[in-house]
């Protein structure tokens, strides 16, 4: 995607489409007001007629506007003027993109960047614009024989600037956004593909393809035999019920000094979660194809890091397999010895994510991580706690949790710091093994994290539960690409490349 900046007045700008706005009070955005004046009050007349509400996310497309040089002008509702901040800005851009889906416009210029958006900068406003347009145009049609082919041919995204001096910040923002959109698209594609296509082998091939495309990434795939030699019995216990081979994917990116310790990202890659012998109920089970969204997000983030050639070291580790019931599947009550030597009583085979993650985390110690972050669609309890809005962040380091949470705010892909503690640990007690893999219904998202914490001893570690944020259900069912923006932002900040 190409991008450009402009300081010309909206009414003078030749374009396929301009984005301007109107607040709930009827106040026009800077560019809408300028167009209104140039066109002899055309927007004000529409407003008086009652055609423009100003409600956040509402939009109207105007065409054949006199005294302007754009083919289309989308007027988006901006909500309350006092409340117009980053989330509102992003929602407005998304609404505008929604309004032009299917239109044959070759470019779009966002003039909402001239508004006073609370707590942000030209860099972020440009980034949100390019991200908003890019992600708004996402379509998943790979698995349809009848394609709607409504692709919008937008090849250029413009951003209006108040000040020419902001140009270099803006172009950095656009460049970063481009990589984030690519990474989110990849994560969404992997999430949306069904489990009969997106198998552990398919995920491994995706990682190998990225390594072919970027010489800075080295990928290694470990087979079940290799995992057996490493004594990854906890991970392997999850794949017992399926004939589909499990894989451990390792991707290493070296953009920093050779001796600098890497950020290690571990992503849950359950390509389908039936629950195993502790079988899940039927309705909605199809959505368990999304149980590899943690893996998809860390692989996507790796792609963004390589595209941006960030001056840091990043390692991705993805344990991936299916969780199916069969005559060879793991039974409730079975006890396994994890790679760390700790024994686990598997009281519920549906709590499988932690069983594959713990061995992957133990394996990842060999990379001497500066920090380790695991990302997983781990618990239904997390969805109950935070809904679909925020990612749960648990950590054995308050500093790390804080920087992840603040990266989430900057990227507008937010998380919420949740506690850990001995009380939760107690819930995992087992009569027969070192501990059990479940801790009861209460505080389920936290006891899952408490389980993982037992494998993070001595590491600076955080756990992201993305069960609520990685995909949407209902008529808009689909992967969201989250938390790619949060993770990428965290790494951009670590690399020191955000202005």
**What is the SS3 assignment for 492?**
helix
Beta carbons within 10 angstroms of residue 480's beta carbon: 24
Instruction: Give 102 or 333: the residue with its C-beta nearer to Mn ion.
Output: 333
> Should residue 273 be labelled a site residue for Zn ion when binding is judged by CB under 5 A?
yes
Smallest gap from residue 356 Cβ to Zn ion (A): 9
Non-local CB neighbours of 212 within 8 Å, separated by 6+ positions? none
User: Cβ of residue 377: shortest distance to ligand BES, in angstroms?
Assistant: 4
Window 222-241: residues binding Zn ion (CB under 5 A): none
Question: What is the closest distance, in whole angstroms, from the C-beta atom of residue 294 to Mn ion in the complex?
Answer: 13
The nearest distance, CB 131 to ligand BES, in angstroms, is 25
For residue 128 the two structure tokens come to: 């949100």
Q: Look up residue 378 and give its two tokens.
A: 């781990």
In the residue annotation, 118 being an active-site residue is answered as: no
Interface segment toward Mn ion; rule CB under 5 A; list 41-49, 223-231, 350-358, 359-367 = 350-358
CA separation for the pair 426, 306 (Å, rounded)? 42
Regarding 465 and contact with Mn ion (CB under 5 A), the answer is no
CB 456 within 8 A of CB 396: yes
Binding partner at 379 among Mn ion, ligand BES, Zn ion, none, C-beta below 5 to 8 Å by kind: ligand BES
Preceding omega of 346 cis (within 30 degrees of 0): no
The DSSP output letter for 26 is: S
From 54, 105, 469, select the one nearest 97 (Cα to Cα).
Answer: 105
Q: Which stretch binds Mn ion (CB under 5 A): 267-275, 428-436, 438-446, 449-457?
A: 267-275
Site residues for ligand BES per CB under 6 A: 273, 291, 348, 350-353, 377-381, 383, 438, 444, 467
Q: How far is the CB of 270 from Zn ion (least distance, A)?
A: 5
**Which of 273, 322, 412, 489 is the binder for Mn ion (CB under 5 A)?**
273
Contact 235, 321 (CB under 8 A): yes
| Residue with the shortest CB distance to ligand BES | 380
Residues between 326 and 365 with contacts to Zn ion, criterion CB under 5 A? 353
- Say if CB 270 and CB 352 are below 8 A apart: yes
C-beta nearest to Mn ion: residue: 350
Using CB under 5 A, count the residues that bind Mn ion: 3
> Shortest gap between Cβ of 275 and Mn ion (angstroms)?
5
Tokens of 206: 């995706």
Residue 348 binds: one of ligand BES, Zn ion, Mn ion, none (C-beta under 5 to 8 A by kind): ligand BES
> Is 354 known to be catalytic?
yes
344 binds, among Mn ion, Zn ion, ligand BES, none (CB under 5 to 8 A by kind): none
Beta carbon nearer to ligand BES, 74 or 428: 428
Catalytic residue among 231, 280, 365, 472: 280
CA 418: distance to chain centroid?
A: 19
Contacting residue, 71, 350, 374, 465, with Mn ion by CB under 5 A: 350
Binding track over 287-306 against Zn ion, x by CB under 5 A: ----x---------------
Task: Judge whether 156 and 4 are in contact, CB under 8 Å.
Answer: yes
* DSSP label at residue 246: P
Q: How far is the CB of 396 from Mn ion (least distance, A)?
A: 24
123, 90, 108: which is closest to 155 by C-alpha? 108
Three-class secondary structure assignment of 422-472: HHHHHCCCCCCCCEECCCCCCCHHHHHHHHHHCCCCCCCEEEEECCCCCEE
Closest CB to Zn ion among residues 36, 273: 273
What is each CA distance from 352 to 331, 430, 433, in whole angstroms?
A: 12, 17, 17
Alpha-carbon torsion (122, 2, 206, 279), positive or negative: positive
- Active-site residue, selected from the candidate residues 354, 414, 454, 482: 354
Q: Considering only CA atoms, which of 101, 26, 32, 38 is closest in space to residue 68?
A: 38
Residues that bind Zn ion (CB under 5 A): 270, 273, 291, 353
Binding residues (CB under 5 A) for Mn ion: these are: 273, 350, 352
Catalytic residue ranges: 280, 354
């Amino acid at each position: 995607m190409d991008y450009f900046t402009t300081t010309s007045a909206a009414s003078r700008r030749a374009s396929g489409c301009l984005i301007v706005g109107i607040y709930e009070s009827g106040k026009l955005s800077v560019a809408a007001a300028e167009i209104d004046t140039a066109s002899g009050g055309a927007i004000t007349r529409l407003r008086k007629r009652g055609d423009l509400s100003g409600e956040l996310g509402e939009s109207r497309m105007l065409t054949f506007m006199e005294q302007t040089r754009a083919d289309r002008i989308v007027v988006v509702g901006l909500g309350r003027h006092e409340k117009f901040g980053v989330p509102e800005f992003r929602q407005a851009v998304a609404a505008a993109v929604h309004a032009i889906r299917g239109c044959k416009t070759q470019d779009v210029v966002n003039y909402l960047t001239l508004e006073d958006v609370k707590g942000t900068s030209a860099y972020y406003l440009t980034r949100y614009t390019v991200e908003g347009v890019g992600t708004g145009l996402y379509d998943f049609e790979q698995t349809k024989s009848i394609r709607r082919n409504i692709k919008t041919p937008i090849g250029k995204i413009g951003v209006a600037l108040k000040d020419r001096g902001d140009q270099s910040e803006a172009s950095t923002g656009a460049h970063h956004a481009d990589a984030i959109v690519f990474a989110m698209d990849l994560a969404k594609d992997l999430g949306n593909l069904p489990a009969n296509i997106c198998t552990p082998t398919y995920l491994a091939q995706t990682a190998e393809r990225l390594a072919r495309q970027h010489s800075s990434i080295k990928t290694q795939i470990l087979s079940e035999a290799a995992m057996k030699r490493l004594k990854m019995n906890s991970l392997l216990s999850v794949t017992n019920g399926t004939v589909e081979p499990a894989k451990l994917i390792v991707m290493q990116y070296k953009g920093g000094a050779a001796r600098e310790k890497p950020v290690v990202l571990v992503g849950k890659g359950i390509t389908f979660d039936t629950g195993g012998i502790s079988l899940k109920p039927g309705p909605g089970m199809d959505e368990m194809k999304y149980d590899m969204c943690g893996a998809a997000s860390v692989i996507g983030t790796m792609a963004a890091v390589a595209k941006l050639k960030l001056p840091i070291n990043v390692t991705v580790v993805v344990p991936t397999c299916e969780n199916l019931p069969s005559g060879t599947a793991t039974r409730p009550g079975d006890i396994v010895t994890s790679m760390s030597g700790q024994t686990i009583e598997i009281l519920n085979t549906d709590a499988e994510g932690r069983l594959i993650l713990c061995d992957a985390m133990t394996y990842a110690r060999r990379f001497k991580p500066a920090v380790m972050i695991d990302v997983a669609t781990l618990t239904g309890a997390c969805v109950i706690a935070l809904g679909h809005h925020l990612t749960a962040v648990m950590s054995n380091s308050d500093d790390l949790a804080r920087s992840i949470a603040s990266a989430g705010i900057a990227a507008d892909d937010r998380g919420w710091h949740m506690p850990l503690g001995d009380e939760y640990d107690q819930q995992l007690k087992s009569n027969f093994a070192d501990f059990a893999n479940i801790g009861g219904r209460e505080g389920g998202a936290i006891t899952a994290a408490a389980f993982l914490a037992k494998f993070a001893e001595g590491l600076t570690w955080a756990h992201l539960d993305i069960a609520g944020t990685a995909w949407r259900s209902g008529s808009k069912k689909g992967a969201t690409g989250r938390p790619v923006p949060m993770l990428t932002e965290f790494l951009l900040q670590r690399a020191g490349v955000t202005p």
